[in-house]
Amino acid sequence: MNSSSQKETTQLTIDVWADVLCPWCYVGEKRLELVIEQLPFADDINLRLHTFQLDPTATSKVAPTLDYLSRKYGVSVTEARSMEEGMAQQAAHEGLKYEVDRPQSSTFDMLRLVHLGSVYGVAWKYLRAMQTEVFSGNFDAFEHSTLIRIGEGLGIPTEEIRDVLTSNRYADAVLADHNEAVKLGATGVPFTVIAHRVGIPGAVSTNQYRENIEEVWGKLND
């Protein structure tokens, strides 16, 4: 066949909304990563990360997650621990670290840094690295020194990270991402949209991610 008559491949865009502290985001992102890596058209997938702050009312005070969940859901700390231990098993199945006794605080600064990361092409890596700090049980995960260390490791200039942390940069971007997700029908995260066609609320199995992606890919490139 003449190369001029060959049909060009249509790139597949996958939009993902997530928050750093969201356990199902942490697990769902890993499943999605695994699926994409295994697809023969992985190089033609454009993965775009968007932020979604689950609790905009959270303060910058760092507290134990179990205490936070106990207050949020009106359950005892023991019941909250039982819930978290079940989630830990889900994470372990994906090969992820997951400490039940971990920190909780506002993710606003972290999410603003995700937007900075997008400027340098490392938004996804920045998010995943921050999640690893939190879910590994590091109570210094929200400290500026930790966020700067992670960003520096990804090649982001230190002064850029400091500027975001000491200003209100990307606050509007965090709000815009949140509003866009709500308009699309999201009530929480993770929220995944494939090629502006198929919306996936919550974390699904690797098989479900694969089936949805392959179906849309087939329609775009039949």
The confidence score (pLDDT) of residue 5 equals 47
Q: Look at residue 79 and tell me if it is in a domain.
A: yes
| E-strand stretches of the chain | 12-18, 45-51, 63-64, 103-104, 191-194, 198-201
Instruction: Say how far apart CA 138 and CA 105 lie, in whole Å.
Output: 12
Q: Look at residue 221 and tell me if it is in a domain.
A: no
The confidence score (pLDDT) of residue 104 equals 97
State the total domains in the chain: 1
Instruction: Say how far apart CA 27 and CA 190 lie, in whole Å.
Output: 9
Range of the domain at 160: 9-216
Q: Look at residue 2 and tell me if it is in a domain.
A: no
Length of the chain: 222
pLDDT band at residue 9, thresholds of 50, 70 and 90? confident
Q: Look at residue 4 and tell me if it is in a domain.
A: no
**For residue 24, what is the domain's CATH number?**
3.40.30.10
* pTM attached to this predicted model: 0.94
pLDDT band at residue 222, thresholds of 50, 70 and 90? confident
Over residues 24-75, the pLDDT tens digits come to 999 999 999 999 999 999 999 999 999 999 999 999 999 999 999 999 999 9
Q: Which pairs with CB-CB distance under 8 Å and at least 24 residues apart come from 54-60? A: 54/19, 54/21, 54/22, 54/107, 54/188, 54/189, 55/21, 55/106, 55/107, 56/108, 58/104, 58/105, 58/106, 58/107, 59/105, 59/106, 60/105, 60/106, 60/109, 60/142
Q: Look at residue 222 and tell me if it is in a domain.
A: no
State yes or no: cis peptide before 190, omega within 30 of 0: yes
pLDDT band at residue 7, thresholds of 50, 70 and 90? low
Q: Look at residue 186 and tell me if it is in a domain.
A: yes
Instruction: Say how far apart CA 23 and CA 115 lie, in whole Å.
Output: 20
Q: Look at residue 3 and tell me if it is in a domain.
A: no
Q: Look at residue 54 and tell me if it is in a domain.
A: yes
Q: Which residues fall within 8 angstroms of residue 209, CB to CB, at 6 or more apart? A: 31, 32, 35, 192, 200
